[in-house]
Structure 1
Amino acid sequence: MEYTHEPADPVAKGVLATARQSWNDLFIFKQRVVVTSELGETSTEWARPVPLRNPISLLAQLSGRDWLFFIVGFAAWTADAFDFHALSIQQVKLAEYYDTTKTNISTAITLTLLLRSVGAAMFGLAGDKWGRKWPMVVNMIVLGALQIATIYSTTFSEFLAVRSLFGLFMGGVYGNAIAMALENSPTDARGLMSGILQQGYSFGYVCAACANLGVGGGVDSWKTVFWIAAGISIAVGIIRAFFPESQQFIEARKAGKAQAHPSAFWKETRTMLAQEWKLCIYCIILMTWFNYYSHTSQDSYTTFMLTQKELANDGASRASILMKVGACVGGTIIGYISQWFGRRRTIIVAAIMSMVLIPAWILPEGERSLSATGFFMQFFIQGAWGVIPIHLNELSPPAFRSSFPGLSYQLGNMISSPSAQIVNAISESHFVTSKSGQRSEAYGPTMGIATAIIAMGIVVTTAFGPEKRGREFEKTLPAGMNLVPEGKKMEDDLERGDTRESKPAVEMQDVGEKN
């Protein structure tokens, strides 16, 4: 950011004041920032975003160690997505295998999403307290084992039970993966790296769809895809065990060791929740919209092509692959643009574009047309998603960059968990006439109407929410080291993520830090 030294009104306090200020700032290309002097004095001024830099030069800013952490985080997120989509893209096969309806099979998706928030809390807090490494190692290996357990589930009840437990461990991946990947990235490169990182989810979908295409349409072939998913997850966990802990976490722990004291972690966690509960609720609402956005538009899309559009398994798989290639491209490009255009503006424009494309997304016939429109639809849907990892990291209280984004994301997942069931249930109770004249379940209209409503919800929620683009959190101490023992005269600021000696002439503010 380029500082203009042009004074700005202070950052608003309170829900309505923040919403009003956020709406007004949306139409001002400059960004309101809080600048802290060396003496601890704060002032608010306008900053101008620097022009977009050559993406190659941004990628060159990452050191070998930075790339190591980023690649491992990307691989973990990709494996997580492969595990999830191994089920969602094979609902038709699984329904036939267990002799039940597609709606009942989507119950497994609901249970997985429902319990992911519990895993996010467990492994996110573990990552903030003990580091990013070993929680992720345990997480990934157990995920692989549960994929194998799914294969050996002989009854539908056993299948649902295993998928519920799977959701518990799946929830722990996101927070630690994005914290590890992005906290080691240079500030200027974070928008681009956020876009690339988020597309690990889409890349995982592409890999799962390729596996589904490779094994064919046989009923029992779903087990082969699950074996592949298990192998990838366990491999990522083993690989992570041989790489070091995040250097930033190690250095921060060393710097704050003298300030650590018994029960400090949980005390600081309670303090953070007391200070930031409104922000927590906002991020959960935002992530609820986003998770509905993603799952409503993709989980039943392969089923839509197989049933309403009457494509064969290989044609539907190829169209799904191209759809998610669009997601990978869109997430990377739009995440990169957000570094200059702003996180909120970028999300809003992408969501509006996805609404405009809905008719072209569900009306065409044939594999080629569906592949093309699916590509551009997911370009903008996952383009908006590409901003989310860095946006959540910047909004997070700095010491809780593992637990806060992961828990916000997975609580949104929990609330949106019935999305696939809702789409399937409505579609299977309403019918349209297919191209061949057959009566077909109305997946297209259901997904189109739902996606339009959800995209509008994202636009409104984002327009009235906060943004802290370019925020620095490199010097933040780990959670549990930002509160000092009683008797020492110091002030803590969890939002700022630093601790300083008290200065009577300076009023400490809980609104941000120098960007």
Structure 2
Amino acid sequence: MPTSTSEKDQIPKLPWGWERAKAHVKDVFVPTHGWYYDEAGEYVYGEMKRPPLVNPFKLCAMLTAKNWLFFGVGLFAWTMDGYDFHAGSLSLTNLSAYFGESRETISESITLTLLFRTIGAAVFGIAGDMYGRKWPMIINMLIIAALQIGTVYAPDWPTFLGVRALFGIGMGGIWGLSASMSLENMPVEARGLFSGILQQGYAMGYIIAAIFNLYVVPNSHFGWKSLFYIGAALSGLVAILRLFFPESKIFLENKAARSGKKVSVPAKVKAFSKEGKDMLKIYWRRVIYCSLMMAAFNFSSHGSQDMYATYMEVGKGFTKAQATRAAIIGKVGCVVGGTICGYLSSFYGRRATIIVVSCVGACMIPLWVLPTSWGALVAGAFLLQFCVQGAWGVVPIHLSELSPPQFRATFPGITYQIGNMISSPAAQLLSTMAEKYPKEYRGELRPDYAGAQAYFMTVIFIWLAIWLLIGHEEIGSRFELVARAGHEAYDEAAAAGPSNAHDAERGEASGKMANEKESLEYVEDADAVKEKK
């Protein structure tokens, strides 16, 4: 496998044009060669053989007790992110009555929450890559719990908006920390399956919130506020659970190797900042690609889910209980689709799985919006959400493999939340479109949520399929073997003191990033090798 510059120069290049485009499209479905991190943690070019289908129960049997522990808490944290976010969207009607504002105005709180998530992703992602996954997650979850309580005690609408904006900052850090902690401690063969399960924590969070909204809120003297009290308690529980088990293996190894070396906080920050600047110089195209990819993904979820209960209640005329039950069944489709598609992506490819399921999802849109009976609409919701979250199930592992491994909490978290920020007006757009262009339904003029959602999701599915088609993947990369960012400060400390073989090995990681700059120039030229063959 060519790893040196001279060997890379021998890779033939296809000129931009039809032949190169055909080769690239073929690579999505029938790959042969590509760039990835091998078993030694080196960024190499070589043959990429996809493994045969493995029984998912065998994949589960590969996990140790610690693997399950890391994954379980990561899943719990991400589930609470979904619960906390949807506690707001499920309470739109109640909040509208409580604050005396229209549903369209109340939906601004959803937009603000999404807009401010990027700040949280940056803050907690950097903390996670510099100091480990444990304490940043504990602090993150405690902040979330405190802001849930703050939401309940907001005396007026402007204060409520301010609290939800801060809440967005807290929520922004959870995904990057959860995904990195869960997947870096997972056997490579099992990452696709558990990526799908992990991502559906968000859907499970909705299901839990919807069940409480259906059965607890109407029977509690706290009313809609009980949703937020429960969220605060469960978020605090995640922090407590994380307190009682150790740091990720890679950070424990780093700590043991650097035992006895004292490095000041400014030195750590300086080293991390230097590597961060180098990363942006090398990976700036990938930052843009991943951010726009995540914008499409977030538009697909927010466009099909945030206003769904309102659509069923206001647009289709069902009761609140019927609308909530329909949303819950749709979320069950999310969990099933995400798990299955995440599992299949390890054998059929990350991009191929997403593209196929997006095309199928576009075909499900008529069944999602045209029927008039509750049963048919629910069937459409299940199938459409199977496809939406089937594509989403591939995201944690696909984004982790595309990320610079030195920044596997920062990069995925920030690009994910940039996409969230871009998609933040989704609920407002749908609400405005539906209210502005009402349609007669059952003899009554109603907001046309069906038409708004149908047009919106058609565009998003097409965007998603095309964008993934022009991208690339690094399936099976051993990103967990690459040293985390900020190691240079310790390398300097090692140079000033006794030599250590392990430090010397870790010191090579900074050179790897520089070598990747050359490697990335040849990512698309893998197609040329196949054409020559």
TM-score (norm 2): 0.86
Corresponding residue for residue 74 of structure 1: 75
Shift, 1:13, TM fit: 11
Shift, 1:249, TM fit: 2.1
Q: Number of aligned residue pairs: give it.
A: 496
User: In angstroms, what is the RMSD of aligned CA positions?
Assistant: 3.2
Asked if structure 1 preserves the Cα contact closer than 8 Å seen for 2:32 and 2:48, the reply is yes
Tell me the distance in 2 between the aligned counterparts of 1:499 and 1:441.
60
Asked if structure 2 preserves the Cα contact closer than 8 Å seen for 1:256 and 1:477, the reply is no
Tell me the distance in 1 between the aligned counterparts of 2:494 and 2:62.
43
Q: 2:446 aligns with which of 433, 440, 450?
A: 440
Shift, 1:20, TM fit: 7.3
Give the secondary-structure state (helix, strand or coil) at the position aligned to 1:48. coil
Name the CA shift for 1:35/1:74 in 2 (closer, same or farther; >3 Å): closer
Asked if structure 1 preserves the Cα contact closer than 8 Å seen for 2:36 and 2:476, the reply is no
Corresponding residue for residue 289 of structure 2: 282
Asked if structure 2 preserves the Cα contact closer than 8 Å seen for 1:93 and 1:220, the reply is no
Asked if structure 1 preserves the Cα contact closer than 8 Å seen for 2:482 and 2:509, the reply is no
Tell me the distance in 1 between the aligned counterparts of 2:474 and 2:12.
11
Corresponding residue for residue 348 of structure 1: 355
Name the CA shift for 1:508/1:139 in 2 (closer, same or farther; >3 Å): closer
Asked if structure 1 preserves the Cα contact closer than 8 Å seen for 2:282 and 2:517, the reply is no
Tell me the distance in 1 between the aligned counterparts of 2:291 and 2:472.
13
Corresponding residue for residue 137 of structure 1: 138
What letter corresponds to residue 499 of structure 1 in structure 2? Answer: E
Shift, 1:452, TM fit: 0.6
Give the secondary-structure state (helix, strand or coil) at the position aligned to 2:47. strand
Residue identity (%): 42
2:456 equivalent to 1:450: yes
2:336 equivalent to 1:329: yes
Shift, 1:367, TM fit: 2.5
Tell me the distance in 2 between the aligned counterparts of 1:298 and 1:215.
22
Name the CA shift for 1:27/1:331 in 2 (closer, same or farther; >3 Å): closer
Shift, 1:274, TM fit: 1.2
Q: 1:486-505 maps to which residues of 2 (within 5 A)?
A: 499=508
Asked if structure 1 preserves the Cα contact closer than 8 Å seen for 2:313 and 2:323, the reply is yes
Tell me the distance in 1 between the aligned counterparts of 2:112 and 2:100.
19
Corresponding residue for residue 242 of structure 1: 244
Tell me the distance in 2 between the aligned counterparts of 1:372 and 1:311.
15
Q: Which runs of 5+ in 1 are unaligned?
A: 1-6, 489-496
Q: 2:484 aligns with which of 449, 459, 478?
A: 478
Q: 1:312 aligns with which of 292, 301, 319?
A: 319
What letter corresponds to residue 23 of structure 1 in structure 2? Answer: V
Shift, 1:477, TM fit: 1.2
Tell me the distance in 1 between the aligned counterparts of 2:179 and 2:134.
12
Asked if structure 1 preserves the Cα contact closer than 8 Å seen for 2:304 and 2:457, the reply is yes
Corresponding residue for residue 519 of structure 2: 510
Deviations, residues 62-85 of structure 1 (Å, cap 9, x unaligned):
100011000000000000110000
What letter corresponds to residue 475 of structure 2 in structure 1? Answer: R
Shift, 1:370, TM fit: 2.0
Shift, 1:87, TM fit: 0.8
Corresponding residue for residue 3 of structure 1: none
Q: 1:50-449 maps to which residues of 2 (within 5 A)?
A: 50-215=51-216, 221-255=223-257, 262=268, 263-434=270-441, 436-449=442-455
Give the secondary-structure state (helix, strand or coil) at the position aligned to 2:120. helix
What letter corresponds to residue 464 of structure 1 in structure 2? Answer: I
Tell me the distance in 2 between the aligned counterparts of 1:94 and 1:486.
56
Corresponding residue for residue 530 of structure 2: none
Shift, 1:230, TM fit: 1.3
Give the secondary-structure state (helix, strand or coil) at the position aligned to 2:48. strand
Tell me the distance in 1 between the aligned counterparts of 2:458 and 2:27.
25
Name the CA shift for 1:256/1:487 in 2 (closer, same or farther; >3 Å): closer
Shift, 1:329, TM fit: 0.5
What letter corresponds to residue 116 of structure 1 in structure 2? Answer: R
What letter corresponds to residue 391 of structure 2 in structure 1? Answer: A
Tell me the distance in 1 between the aligned counterparts of 2:226 and 2:285.
45
Shift, 1:45, TM fit: 3.4
Asked if structure 2 preserves the Cα contact closer than 8 Å seen for 1:10 and 1:43, the reply is no
Shift, 1:509, TM fit: 4.7
Deviations, residues 129-171 of structure 1 (Å, cap 9, x unaligned):
0000111111111111111111111211111111011101110
Shift, 1:33, TM fit: 4.3
What letter corresponds to residue 310 of structure 1 in structure 2? Answer: G
Name the CA shift for 1:19/1:476 in 2 (closer, same or farther; >3 Å): farther
Asked if structure 1 preserves the Cα contact closer than 8 Å seen for 2:36 and 2:474, the reply is no
Name the CA shift for 1:502/1:229 in 2 (closer, same or farther; >3 Å): closer
Shift, 1:9, TM fit: 8.6
What letter corresponds to residue 362 of structure 2 in structure 1? Answer: M
Deviations, residues 214-247 of structure 1 (Å, cap 9, x unaligned):
1355996211111111111111112112221112
What letter corresponds to residue 443 of structure 1 in structure 2? Answer: Y
Give the secondary-structure state (helix, strand or coil) at the position aligned to 2:446. strand
Tell me the distance in 2 between the aligned counterparts of 1:500 and 1:142.
34
Asked if structure 1 preserves the Cα contact closer than 8 Å seen for 2:120 and 2:169, the reply is yes
Deviations, residues 318-338 of structure 1 (Å, cap 9, x unaligned):
111110001001000000000
The farther-off stretch of 208-217 and 259-268 is 259-268
Q: Which runs of 5+ in 2 are unaligned?
A: 1-7, 496-505, 524-533
Name the CA shift for 1:131/1:332 in 2 (closer, same or farther; >3 Å): same
